[in-house]
Each structure stands twice: as structure tokens, then as C-alpha cells.
Amino acid sequence: MTLRLRLPLAASAVFGLIAVLLAVGALFPAVGHSIGKLSIPKGVAQLLGGADYGTITGWYRSEMGSVYGPLLIAAVAIIGASASTAGEEEDRILGLVLAHPVERSRLIVAKAAAIAAVVMMVAVACWVGLIAGVALAGGGISVGHLAAYCLQLAFFGFATGAVALALGAGTGRRSLANGAAAGIAIIGWLINGFAPLVNAISWLKYLSLFYYYEGNDPLTHGADIADIIVLGAVALLLTAGAALSIEHRDLRA
């Protein structure tokens, strides 16, 4: 049911994403080389994925990888996770569902699996869109590296969605789950961009999900298994926390 309810949003995200990736690819031959590498402060450049618009890898890393990709997948995951837990509870639907012979923890795990499937759909669409976009741009990134990027994007989506799932299942408050999960993602983005510039706090980057999503630059170097394992572990632990927390609390009226 969760998957069915989330499909319209996922479909919008998929079509929008593919359109953007094709447009970005088509623009590169015309403007990429003329922009080149921007001369901007290192921190800002870091936030923009290096701000190197002169190469196809840098172009997609900046246009897609640093902001648009994670923003879209986080939005799909966070909105889906909070709506299917706290949203259904606030809408008084969860009380009816849990009056049926269904274990709360199993229901949460099923909802997590549905959100993961939606995230995976967006990630696969991203891969298809990137392949087509890079082809329009004249090539330059291997299909394998594009797949690696999309895999890390998917795991980033799983982890950010799991944050919202844990908050939604633990509190039953949709706005809290949405707001806190989005806030954690934004703070993580800023930390990942700025913390490495100051030696004393550079270790903070390890607390950011963005570090594990793009730290090894998958478009250039391929997938980093350790990063994927960290993101996957975060997603699994938070999902387990969500299942446990809803098991023993009162459902909101």
C-alpha cells in the first residue's frame, strides 16, 4: 500500500530528473568549456561539487551530484517515510490498520522496504538519465561510474529516509519528522562542505551522510564499498530503531 501511495510522487521525480539530466547533458557542449573551473572560495566550490564546469565529470558533479541529486532523492525519501508513518498516524489511518492482526514492527519494516523501492526507482532513473545525458554531452564518463554514483545516491536516500522513518515512527509527528530529517540533511551538507577547511573540526565531516555519499567522488573513482556499507548500516540501524520505538508507545489519537 505504501508503495502504491508513493508512486505518483516517485513518477514525478523520475520524469523531472530524466528531463533535467538530458537538458544538463545537452547544455555541456555549448557552455561547459566556456565556463571552465570557477574561481571561487574553496568552501563554496566544495559545496558545489568542485565547481569545475570544464570537464564532463565536473559538470555533472556540480550540476547534479552536489545539490540536485541528493536534494531530490532526500525529498522523495523523507516525504515518503514521514507520510507513511507519522502522516498516517496523524490522519488516523494507522490506528485502523493496527487494529488488524499486524505487528507494528513488521508494518514499519514493510513501509521502509516500500520507501527503499521508491528510492531505488529514482536512482535507476537517474542512471538512465545520466547515460543519455552524458551521451548527448559527447561522452566521457563510463556507464560503470555512473552506476556507482547512482548506487551511492540510492544509499544516501535510504539513510536520509531512515532518519525520517525513525522520527516519524518514534514520535508520530509528521512535521517534526520532515523538518528534523531535512535539517539533518542540510546541516550534513554544510558540514561536509566547510568542516574539511578547518583542521580542528575536519573530523566533523565523518558525521555527515554527504561525506559517505560523495566523499570519494564516485563519478571519477567508482563506488566506495566502505561508504556504501556506512550508509546502509545507518539505514538499517535507524529502521530497527523505528520498529522498536513504535512497538512500545501509545498511538496518537
C-beta closer to other proteins: residue 30 or 100: 100
Q: Segment near other proteins (CB under 8 A), from 59-67, 100-108, 157-165, 218-226?
A: 100-108
Q: Which of residues 213-242 bind other proteins (CB under 8 A)?
A: none
User: Does residue 30 bind other proteins (CB under 8 A)?
Assistant: no
Q: Cβ–Cβ contacts within 10 Å for residue 97, how many?
A: 13
Q: How far is the CB of 172 from other proteins (least distance, A)?
A: 12
User: Does residue 251 bind other proteins (CB under 8 A)?
Assistant: yes
Q: Segment near other proteins (CB under 8 A), from 97-105, 120-128, 198-206, 209-217?
A: 97-105
User: Does residue 131 bind other proteins (CB under 8 A)?
Assistant: no
User: Does residue 113 bind other proteins (CB under 8 A)?
Assistant: no
- DSSP-derived 3-state class of residue 225: helix
Q: Cβ–Cβ contacts within 10 Å for residue 99, how many?
A: 9
- DSSP-derived 3-state class of residue 248: coil
DSSP at 253: -
The values of phi and psi at residue 52, to 5°, are -100, 100
The values of phi and psi at residue 179, to 5°, are -65, -45
Q: Cβ–Cβ contacts within 10 Å for residue 15, how many?
A: 12
User: Does residue 1 bind other proteins (CB under 8 A)?
Assistant: yes
User: Does residue 92 bind other proteins (CB under 8 A)?
Assistant: yes
User: Does residue 102 bind other proteins (CB under 8 A)?
Assistant: yes
Residue 224 to residues 39, 123, 150, 220, Cα–Cα distance (Å)? 29, 17, 12, 11
Q: Which of residues 153-192 bind other proteins (CB under 8 A)?
A: none
Give the torsion sign (CA, 216, 221, 225, 226). negative
Q: Segment near other proteins (CB under 8 A), from 42-50, 73-81, 88-96, 197-205?
A: 88-96
The residue within the footprint of other proteins, chosen from 30, 34, 39, 96 (CB under 8 A), is 96
Query: Residue for cell digits 498516517?
Result: 88
User: Does residue 103 bind other proteins (CB under 8 A)?
Assistant: yes
The beta-strand segments (E) located in 35-120 are: none
User: Does residue 253 bind other proteins (CB under 8 A)?
Assistant: yes
Q: How far is the CB of 99 from other proteins (least distance, A)?
A: 4
Q: How far is the CB of 253 from other proteins (least distance, A)?
A: 7
- At how many degrees (to 10) do helices 143-171 and 225-247 cross? 20
CB 62 within 8 A of CB 53: yes
In the structure grid, which three cell numbers stand for residue 95, read together?
490506528
Q: Segment near other proteins (CB under 8 A), from 41-49, 135-143, 228-236, 244-252?
A: 244-252
Q: Which residues bind other proteins (CB under 8 A)?
A: 1, 5, 91-93, 95-103, 248-251, 253
